[in-house]
Amino acid sequence: MDEKNVALDSLDVTRIEDSAGTRAELHRILGPLDGLAIVVGVVVGAGILRTPGLIAGYLGDPLLILGVWLLGGISTALTALVLAELGAMIPAAGGKYAYVRHAYGDAAGCFAGWGEVLLNRSFTGASKAVLIGQYAVMLAGGRGSPRVVAAAVMVAFLFLHLRGIRAGRAFQNASTILKVGLLAVLVGAGFLWGGGASWSPPAAAAAPPAHGLLLGVGLALQSVFFTYYGAEASLQVSEELREPGRSVPLMLLLGVASVTLLYLLINVAFLNTLTPAAMADSQLVARDVLAKVLGERSGIAVAVVALVILISSLNYNFFGTPRVLYGLARDGLAPRMFNRVNAAGTPTAGLYLTFALIFVLAASGTFELLLRFMSFLTLVVDGLALTTVFVLRRREPTRPRPFRVPLYPLVPAIAVAFYAALIVLIAVTQPRLALGGTALLAAVAVSAWIATRQRATPSAATGASTGPDT
């Protein structure tokens, strides 16, 4: 029996066969560097070109600004440590869906998995596609339709991933390298031609923001968190990693460290070029930084950088989401067709559904409001996934763990507390958003409970368990 089947057997994963009587298989071909490219590719989005201006407006002081970005990296690293233990121990398709189901049962797993598919990845994918269309039309001098461009890009990704995991991996690796290279040029421009704008004594002694320092830090942390968010998505392909016990911790920890360093360098470069007040007044900080070097061409340069960033990030929406559907189907929580994989290693039905959801949302434009509510759902689902480390440590103390969270239970407790604090912050500062997000969560949870109730009832009658260990 190969390593993959040993890993799956140890989880007592439900086996579902296709119409030919053979179970669909994913291809275990990804290495740690592929995982690293996924982490960096997903986390580093176009938000880093705009978010620093928001943070500068919230805080006003260059040292505070850098401190918040560093704190965001540290909190993300704590989360990555917890996910590294879970991902190395449970290298199953779907990532956090698999951990929630294994710890809390089918209904919770269905809630986490379908919430990820229908809300998180679909809405973020639609937003990226629309932005790609807008930037492309900007580069074309206003000629063309953003929606037509977005549709063409989505169709291209559909055909790319139908070619299989090797094609998707190659594109992710190449686009991530190009993205990091372009951002390095942006950092270099800020260091070489910035002039030290924020490091003079008047800038260092800037007055605190009018809305209060505590609220400013809270709002800044919320923005920073979502700029760092995305590392957990890489675990959706953990079943396709070679030596997941080694690869999962490496890709998560190296990925988060790389992103933290990159974000700090970008902010230092921006602060070297503009004062916090100028950053806060800027509509797009990256453009104003490049304007010192390129002049009127800075807008074109930023559009190119943003396009590469968005295309690299959107690729993973088509890469990872079908794997969540694959995991759901294998566990009986989605139609069986989503469990089928083509010869190239792509869950084809899951890819078609992913394409359809993103395409419809991008075409309709109705995702923008729900995208705000999605952030609330993301915090709750990810916080729930992090708590599974406590459940599994207590319930399965002898299960092999290739990686263990250091300083347990302190590190997981801090990570979960950070998520809880952000949820409370949103509830206090944006009560309507919290109320709408709670309603959306309730709808998904009730739907998951209804969907799993009928499946659980026959087994209960025969005394069989339908919980996470079946």
- Between CA 232 and CA 357 the distance in angstroms is 21
Output helix, strand, coil percentages for the chain, rounded to the nearest 5. 75, 0, 20
Say yes or no to pLDDT of 349 above 60.
yes
- Between CA 417 and CA 411 the distance in angstroms is 10
- Between CA 102 and CA 121 the distance in angstroms is 22
- Between CA 258 and CA 146 the distance in angstroms is 32
Tell me, what's the pLDDT at 74? 94
The mean pLDDT value for 268-285 works out to 89
Say yes or no to pLDDT of 307 above 70.
yes
Tell me, what's the pLDDT at 455? 67
Tell me, what's the pLDDT at 440? 81
Say yes or no to pLDDT of 293 above 60.
yes
Tell me, what's the pLDDT at 63? 92
Tell me, what's the pLDDT at 208? 54
The mean pLDDT value for 151-155 works out to 96
Tell me, what's the pLDDT at 430? 81
Give me the chain's average pLDDT, please. 85
**How big is the chain, counted in residues?**
470
Terminal-to-terminal C-alpha distance of the chain: 20
pLDDT digits (tens, 9 = 90+) for 308-331: 999 999 999 999 999 999 999 999
**Least confident among 102-106, 290-294, 414-418:** 290-294
| CA dihedral for 285, 291, 294, 295, sign (positive or negative) | positive
The mean pLDDT value for 5-19 works out to 38
Contact between residue 268 and residue 199 where contact means Cβ atoms under 8 Å apart: no
Contact between residue 189 and residue 269 where contact means Cβ atoms under 8 Å apart: yes
Say yes or no to pLDDT of 212 above 70.
no
Tell me, what's the pLDDT at 10? 40
Chain-centroid distance of CA 148 in Å reads 26
Among residues of the chain, what percentage have pLDDT more than 90?
A: 55
Q: Which residues neighbour 282 within 8 Å (Cβ) at sequence distance 6 or greater? A: 53, 274, 288
Q: Which single residue is written with the structure tokens 């070679």?
A: 242
Say yes or no to pLDDT of 205 above 50.
no
Tell me, what's the pLDDT at 24? 54
Higher per-residue confidence, 33 vs 292: 33
DSSP 8-state class, residue 15:
P
**Least confident among 131-135, 136-140, 450-454:** 450-454
**Least confident among 158-162, 167-171, 281-285, 446-450:** 281-285
Among residues of the chain, what percentage have pLDDT more than 70?
A: 87
- Between CA 404 and CA 395 the distance in angstroms is 16
Say yes or no to pLDDT of 373 above 80.
no
CA distances from 202 to 199, 206, 272, 278 (A): 8, 6, 14, 13
What is the identity of the amino acid at 461?
A
Domains of the chain with bracketed CATH: 29-453 (1.20.1740.10)
Say yes or no to pLDDT of 159 above 60.
yes
Contact between residue 123 and residue 370 where contact means Cβ atoms under 8 Å apart: yes
The mean pLDDT value for 276-296 works out to 85
Say yes or no to pLDDT of 392 above 50.
yes
What is the identity of the amino acid at 315?
N
Global confidence as pTM: 0.87
The mean pLDDT value for 283-311 works out to 87
Say yes or no to pLDDT of 394 above 50.
yes
The mean pLDDT value for 154-166 works out to 96
CA distances from 149 to 1, 125, 140, 313, 368 (A): 47, 14, 11, 17, 18
